[in-house]
Amino acid sequence: MSINFSKSSCLRIGPGNVVCATITSSTGHSIPWTSEIRYLGVYLVKFRTVKCSLDAAERGFYRAFNSIFGKIGHIASEEVILQLVSTKCTPILLYGIEVLPIRQSQLRFLDFMINRLFMKLFKINDIRLVHLCQDLFCFHLPSKLLQQRSNKFMDKLK
């Protein structure tokens, strides 16, 4: 099996800023070291432990939401918009991250994104009203959804 050198890269996970040796194939091609790689749609970043980046997921989520909201935001009801967000945007945000360790700060950031969405949709700034709207529309925050998905993933491993 041959290696596609234009799509391959190396990532070091471990302590310290150690300069790693260049990896060269028998044909003379070298594989570059990077600080971030994409594997099966999940972005892993250089760090002391395994860490994922949510930047691409955030961009994809906002791109999908703005596309939906820009087309039907003033026509459709809030229920329709939230159902579309739940079925089209949230999976983009949570794709593949249930298998990686997610930090509490990253979970809070995911929840903040949904809270901002509710603030924009309902034109409110009070977080208590946002949580009230989320309860009223039975909309679950990503931290809760991610916990459910992680539990389901771990149950399948048993």
pLDDT band at 140 (very low <50, low <70, confident <90, very high): very high
- Backbone φ and ψ of 54, nearest 5°: -105, 10
Amino acid 138: pLDDT: 92
- Backbone φ and ψ of 114, nearest 5°: -70, -40
Tell me, rounded to whole angstroms, the distance of Cα 26 from its chain centroid. 37
Amino acid 131: pLDDT: 95
Q: For 54-92, where are the E strands, in sequence order?
A: none
- Backbone φ and ψ of 30, nearest 5°: -105, 150
Q: 97: buried, middle or exposed (CB in 10 Å: 19+, 13-18, 0-12)?
A: buried
44-48, 89-93, 152-156: least confidently modelled range: 152-156
Q: Which residue has the higher pLDDT, 2 or 140?
A: 140
Tell me, rounded to whole angstroms, the distance of Cα 21 from its chain centroid. 31
pTM: 0.81
| Confidence check: pLDDT of 65 > 90 | yes
The model's pLDDT over 15-56, given as tens digits with 9 standing for 90+, comes to: 877 788 888 888 888 888 888 998 888 888 888 888 888 899
Both structure tokens of 22: 């260049």
Per 3-state DSSP, the chain is made up of helix, strand and coil in percentages (nearest 5) of: 55, 10, 35
